[in-house]
């Protein structure tokens, strides 16, 4: 509760200062519903009115009440004497016992090393915002201040607060104690004390009976929850994570500024979790900067910076504090136009990054629009990429392990790069919420299928039907030793491969297998991903794909490569040549593993051929591979794998059979309602071969040049 004596003492100070300045209008003093009457009470106010207007006629008294004319000199003396008498009667000049607000402000001042004038100004702001009388009394004082110059206004505050001019300037200017710490935030002008922009949440917390650290600072920062992960769970990011740990571990060394780290990457990759893991790894207490008030309303840019300022001040003496600033792009991205307050914010943020007293991990989903002036001030910028397949498998097992999901399901989850650690955690929580009613595999597939990226349900829980087994490298008919190729690629960070051959021979499947064995994400690019109607944008997208692949150590697959690498001599438009030129340049500069797949090798631009490190043709299966594939397919669908002499002869007699033919044959048997066995599968394969032969003959009917 607020002390009536303290509120009265403040009211007397405000009224006395306003009267001394000659800016107190008659109406404020004479009207019964104005704050002077509320302060003095009926009897004292009536006596004061008589003393000020006793010689006036009723008409003059009414005119003065309605006008904005200020008290004359003698009237100001009478009024101030009346205030003095009132203060003496209420013992307002004697030490007044602390109330809850003054006690809490004293504790806040101790934590933030605030000066007495700073606490006094906060006291005025909070009390006048909680008391109608004080708020009315403050208005004429502020109005007078706004009509004066900044220096004149500082002299007004000097008189009100009873301190030196230098102390006033140390409070309200951009680098002053209250503004720089974030406790007040005047908008455009350091004179705007009619709106200190005090946090209502902070004011409410300081009005409580006793000081509670967590409650007072809850609008600005809070203790981050601990993480269940360890640095081992982020080992796919390489040595940069250990470097980050060592930088943070060095916090506190004399003369060394605490490190500022920036984590960025697509949503859901575990950046926030990583920040807490790093804090735990160095024995620090992580405090998250708030992104909204206690009502759940999101903060604007200035409010988030204020929260960071207050956290920085409140935790400065906390030996193990580490700040975590999530969604940091909101403050790191430059404003469209810099107003004076935004210039001050930018200056403060630059200084914060350069002279911080606390380590801070900043988190953003992207840094493309981040101001370069900020980027260069970070000690380490870490791209938190999508985990590779093996890491995703481990994360999936950790998150969903308690629900006894089969290895096959976890493998399918790991094969989906769009499923992030955050979505797996959300799925785990959903399964726990379902309790005994949970059907783990079905429910997990539904939750993941309806996640933020909507992974296809059938990718996790395939539709009914006969299934093609997992990729078998021994069924690829290729002149290369693919095992040796994989061994070589493991030692390399870059290579340019070209797989060519008829459709269905396994070019895409082989690229996927290579990425899996290298434990890298495969990114497939097709014409629709790059082509744009806008001049130059296609080239930009091509360059961006190569840069992203290098930065995130991805395997880049350009499917149907002949679309973009077609011989320039065959082009009819200038933009076709431009696309080929850009792709050739990117191919030459590639710093990742890039795989081109094409069915039309003969149409590629000759300049592309010398840029490929490996060019190899994938051909239809040999007879031994056809038999092997037949047995693998039958076994995977729990069918008899024994081949009679007649069946072996039939499969040996089929020519130009590819892996794609087996997939089509399985769909044919399933859709036509047939039972899968060696004979129905061979029959379906024969139909695929015959259909292709018929299509080939029809494509040659007509004039032959």
CATH 3.40.50.300 segments of the chain: 219-383, 473-619
- pLDDT value of residue 575: 54
Q: What's the CA gap between 73 and 71, in Å, rounded?
A: 7
Q: What's the CA gap between 309 and 312, in Å, rounded?
A: 5
Q: Could you tell me the two tokens for 164?
A: 């030196």
Q: Average pLDDT in the 513-535 region?
A: 84
Most confident of the ranges 18-32, 144-158, 343-357, 446-460: 343-357
Q: Average pLDDT in the 390-417 region?
A: 81
Q: Which CATH number fits domain 219-383: 3.90.550.10, 3.30.70.141, 3.40.50.300, 3.40.50.2300?
A: 3.40.50.300
- 166-175, 239-248, 471-480: which has the minimum mean pLDDT? 166-175
Confidence of residue 699 (pLDDT cuts 50, 70, 90): low
Q: What's the CA gap between 327 and 324, in Å, rounded?
A: 10
Confidence of residue 111 (pLDDT cuts 50, 70, 90): confident
- pLDDT value of residue 69: 67
Residue 350 CB partners (closer than 8 Å, separation 6+): 373, 374, 377
- pLDDT value of residue 459: 56
- pLDDT value of residue 476: 94
- 93-97, 123-127, 509-513, 540-544: which has the minimum mean pLDDT? 93-97
- pLDDT value of residue 76: 83
- pLDDT value of residue 570: 54
Q: Indicate whether 571 pLDDT > 70.
A: no
Q: Indicate whether 687 pLDDT > 80.
A: yes
Q: Indicate whether 490 pLDDT > 60.
A: yes
- 126-130, 161-165, 353-357, 566-570: which has the minimum mean pLDDT? 566-570
- pLDDT value of residue 620: 95
Most confident of the ranges 187-201, 224-238, 639-653: 639-653
Q: Indicate whether 574 pLDDT > 70.
A: no
- pLDDT value of residue 194: 43
Q: Indicate whether 453 pLDDT > 60.
A: no
CA 15 and chain centroid, separation:
49
Confidence of residue 701 (pLDDT cuts 50, 70, 90): very low
Confidence of residue 189 (pLDDT cuts 50, 70, 90): very low
| pTM as predicted | 0.73
Q: What's the CA gap between 406 and 408, in Å, rounded?
A: 5
Most confident of the ranges 70-79, 283-292, 331-340, 574-583: 283-292
Q: Indicate whether 597 pLDDT > 80.
A: yes
CA-based torsion, 691, 696, 699, 702: positive or negative: negative
> Please, how many CA atoms are within 13 Å of residue 655, restricted to the half-sphere of its CB?
1
Q: What's the CA gap between 64 and 57, in Å, rounded?
A: 11
Q: Average pLDDT in the 491-513 region?
A: 92
pLDDT in tens, 227-264: 878 888 888 888 899 999 999 998 766 668 899 999 99
Confidence of residue 274 (pLDDT cuts 50, 70, 90): very high
Sheet with 260-264, edge to edge strand ranges: 221-223, 285-289, 321-325, 360-364, 260-264, 380-383
Q: Average pLDDT in the 261-279 region?
A: 91
* CATH 3.40.50.300 is right for the domain spanning 473-619: yes
What average pLDDT is seen over the chain? 82
Q: What's the CA gap between 595 and 497, in Å, rounded?
A: 5
Q: Average pLDDT in the 641-657 region?
A: 91
Most confident of the ranges 61-65, 549-553, 665-669: 665-669
Residue 532 CB partners (closer than 8 Å, separation 6+): 538, 541
């Amino acid at each position: 509760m607020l002390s009536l004596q303290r509120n009265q003492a403040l009211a007397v100070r405000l009224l006395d200062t306003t009267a001394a300045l000659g800016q107190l209008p008659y109406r404020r003093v004479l009207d019964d519903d104005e704050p002077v009457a509320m302060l003095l009470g009926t009897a004292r106010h009536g006596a004061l009115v008589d003393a000020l207007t006793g010689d006036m006629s009723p008409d003059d008294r009414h005119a003065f009440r309605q006008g904005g004319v200020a008290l004359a000199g003698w009237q100001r003396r009478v009024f101030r004497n009346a205030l003095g008498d009132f203060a003496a009667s209420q013992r307002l000049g004697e030490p007044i016992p602390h109330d809850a607000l003054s006690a809490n402000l004293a504790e806040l001042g101790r934590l933030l090393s605030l000066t007495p004038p700073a606490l006094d100004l906060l006291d005025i702001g909070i009390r006048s915002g909680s008391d109608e009388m004080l708020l009315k009394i403050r208005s004429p004082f502020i109005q007078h201040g706004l009509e004066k110059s900044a220096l004149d206004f500082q002299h007004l505050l000097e008189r009100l607060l009873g301190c030196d001019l230098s102390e006033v300037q140390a409070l309200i200017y951009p680098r002053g104690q209250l503004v720089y710490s974030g406790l007040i935030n005047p908008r455009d002008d350091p004179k705007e004390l009619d709106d200190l922009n005090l946090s209502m949440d902070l004011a409410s917390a300081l009005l409580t009976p006793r000081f509670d650290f967590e409650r007072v600072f809850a609008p600005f920062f809070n203790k981050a929850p601990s993480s269940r992960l360890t640095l081992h769970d982020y080992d796919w990011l390489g040595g940069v994570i250990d470097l980050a740990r060592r930088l943070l571990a060095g916090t506190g060394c004399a003369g060394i500024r605490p490190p500022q780290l920036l984590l960025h990457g697509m949503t859901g990759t575990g950046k926030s979790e990583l920040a807490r893991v790093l804090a735990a790894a160095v024995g620090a207490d992580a405090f998250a900067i708030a992104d909204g008030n206690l009502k759940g309303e999101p903060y604007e840019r200035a409010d988030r910076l204020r929260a960071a300022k207050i956290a920085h001040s409140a935790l400065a003496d906390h030996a193990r504090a580490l700040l975590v600033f999530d969604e940091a792009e909101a403050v790191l991205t430059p404003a469209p136009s810099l107003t004076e307050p935004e210039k001050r914010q930018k200056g403060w943020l630059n200084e914060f990054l350069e002279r911080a007293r606390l380590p801070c991990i900043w988190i953003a989903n992207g840094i493309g629009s981040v101001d370069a002036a900020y980027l260069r001030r970070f000690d380490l910028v870490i791209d938190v990429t999508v985990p590779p397949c093996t890491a995703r498998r481990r994360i999936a097992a950790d998150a969903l392990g308690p629900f006894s999901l089969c290895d096959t399901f976890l493998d399918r989850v790991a094969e989906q790069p769009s499923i992030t650690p955050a979505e797996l955690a959300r799925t785990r929580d959903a399964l726990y919420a379902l309790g005994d009613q949970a059907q783990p595999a079905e429910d997990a597939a539904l939750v993941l299928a309806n996640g933020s990226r909507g992974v296809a349900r059938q990718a996790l829980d395939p539709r009914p039907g006969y299934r093609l087994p997992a990729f078998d490298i021994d069924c690829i008919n290729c002149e290369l030793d693919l095992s040796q190729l994989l061994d070589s690629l493991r030692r390399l960070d870059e290579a340019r491969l070209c797989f060519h051959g008829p459709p269905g021979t396994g070019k895409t499947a082989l690229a996927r297998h290579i990425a899996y064995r290298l434990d890298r994400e495969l990114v497939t690019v097709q014409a629709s991903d790059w082509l744009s109607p806008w001049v130059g944008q296609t080239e930009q997208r091509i360059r961006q794909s190569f840069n992203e692949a290098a930065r995130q150590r991805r395997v880049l697959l350009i499917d149907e490569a002949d679309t973009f690498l077609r011989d320039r001599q065959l082009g009819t438009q200038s933009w076709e040549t431009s696309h080929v030129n850009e792709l050739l340049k990117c191919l030459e500069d590639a710093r990742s593993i890039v795989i081109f797949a094409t069915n039309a090798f003969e149409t590629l631009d000759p300049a592309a051929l010398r840029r490929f490190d490996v060019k190899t043709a994938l051909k239809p299966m040999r007879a031994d591979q056809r038999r092997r594939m037949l047995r693998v397919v039958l076994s995977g669908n729990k069918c008899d794998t024994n081949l009679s002499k007649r069946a072996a002869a039939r499969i040996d007699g089929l020519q130009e059979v590819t892996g794609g033919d087996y997939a089509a044959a399985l769909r044919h048997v399933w859709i036509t309602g047939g039972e899968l066995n060696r004979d129905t599968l061979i029959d379906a394969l024969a139909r695929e071969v015959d259909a292709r032969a018929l299509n080939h003959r029809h494509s040659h009917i007509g004039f032959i040049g």
